[in-house]
């Protein structure tokens, strides 16, 4: 089913998509000199607000509406597990290292300090290995768009490949590791794996 434009005037734009058991609605309203955009799922006359945005001008509004249309359609179980957003997804990035054709970035989402990170490989096109908490899966499209904007990927690549790995939990572990010396005697070293989230994000 395609998106249908319900109304468009100087202060209101509404698109809807009807599915078998629900309806998805994208609504943009001009209120107090700025635009407010809401994406809502309607099922059995119950509305679930999924995302909300504030934008300055109509060009930004049209782009955001196009991006929202491309997002994955959620099923009823996914909708129930989502806490409604009261603000735009906030993504902050901190670069861990940079080499000639590869970078690693740590990610903070909604100012939370989970262990989200990505590796960016630069070739003819850009390829990203993305490790992220599965609770952000419904927001993946918006997160990807913010990463592309913040790191300027759209300026120098027509295609980006995302390899996305979701996790439920994580743990940190420190244990001795066997090391072989030249005289073939065995000694024990230590490997520390550490995530440092004290540095500033951008």
Which of 14-23, 36-45, 114-123, 188-197 shows the lowest per-residue confidence on average (mean pLDDT)? Answer: 188-197
Contacts for 178-187 with beta carbons within 8 Å, 24 or more apart? none
Between residues 113 and 183, the one the model is more confident about: 113
Average pLDDT, integer, range 2-30? 91
For residue 16, give the H/E element and its range. Answer: strand 12-18
Tell me how far apart the alpha carbons of residues 189 and 34 are, in angstroms, rounded to a whole number.
59
- pLDDT for res 45: 62
Can you give the pTM of this predicted structure?
0.47
User: Span 44-58, mean pLDDT?
Assistant: 81
Is 60 exceeded by the pLDDT of residue 186? no
Whether the per-residue pLDDT at 9 is higher than 60: the answer is yes
183 vs 28, higher pLDDT: 28
pLDDT value for 85: 46
% of the chain beyond a pLDDT of 90: 34
Highest-pLDDT range among 31-45, 116-130, 140-154, 179-193: 116-130
Among candidate residues 147, 139, 140, 145, the one with its CA nearest the CA of residue 107: 147
Buried b (16+ CB within 10 A) or exposed e, 167-196: eeeeeeeeeeeeeeeeeeeeeeeeeeeeee
What per-residue confidence (pLDDT) applies to 193?
46
Residue 194 backbone phi and psi in degrees, to 5: -135, 140
Look at the chain and count its residues. 202
For the cut 60, the answer to whether the pLDDT of residue 199 exceeds it is no
CA distance 98 to 69: 34
Tell me the average pLDDT of the chain. Answer: 81
Over 80: is that where the pLDDT of 47 sits? no
pLDDT digits (tens, 9 = 90+) for 21-32: 889 999 998 987
From CA 113, how far away is CA 125, in angstroms rounded?
30
Asked if the model's pLDDT at residue 197 lies above 60, the reply is no
pLDDT tens column, 126-180 = 999 999 988 787 678 778 878 888 888 867 777 888 999 988 776 667 777 766 5
Residue environment code for 104-141, b if the CB has 16+ CB neighbours within 10 A, otherwise e: ebbbbbeeeebebbbbbeeeeebbbbbbbbebbbbbbe
Which pLDDT value is given to residue 28? 92
| Residue ranges of domains in the chain | 4-80, 91-167
**Helix axis angle, 140-151 to 58-70, nearest 10°:** 130
The C-alpha angle 55, 59, 61, rounded to 5 degrees, equals 45
Q: Confirm if 111 and 131 have CB atoms less than 8 A apart.
A: no
């Amino acid at each position: 089913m395609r998106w249908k434009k319900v109304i468009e005037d100087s202060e209101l734009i509404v698109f809807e998509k009807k599915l078998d058991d629900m309806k998805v609605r994208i609504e943009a309203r001009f209120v107090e000199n700025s635009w407010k955009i809401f994406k809502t799922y309607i099922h059995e006359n119950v509305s679930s607000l999924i995302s909300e945005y504030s934008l300055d001008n109509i060009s930004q509004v049209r782009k955001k509406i196009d991006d929202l249309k491309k997002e994955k359609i959620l099923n009823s179980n996914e909708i129930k597990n989502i806490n409604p957003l009261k603000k735009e997804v906030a993504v902050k990035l901190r670069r861990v290292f940079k080499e000639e054709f590869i970078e690693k970035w740590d990610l903070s989402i909604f100012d939370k300090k989970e262990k989200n990170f990505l590796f960016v490989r630069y070739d003819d096109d850009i390829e990203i290995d993305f490790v992220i908490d599965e609770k952000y899966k419904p927001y993946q499209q918006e997160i990807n768009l913010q990463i592309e904007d913040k790191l300027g990927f759209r300026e120098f690549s027509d295609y980006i490949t995302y390899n996305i790995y979701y996790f439920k939990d994580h743990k940190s572990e420190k244990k001795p590791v066997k090391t072989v010396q030249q005289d073939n005697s065995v000694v024990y070293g230590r490997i520390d794996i550490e995530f440092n989230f004290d540095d500033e994000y951008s």
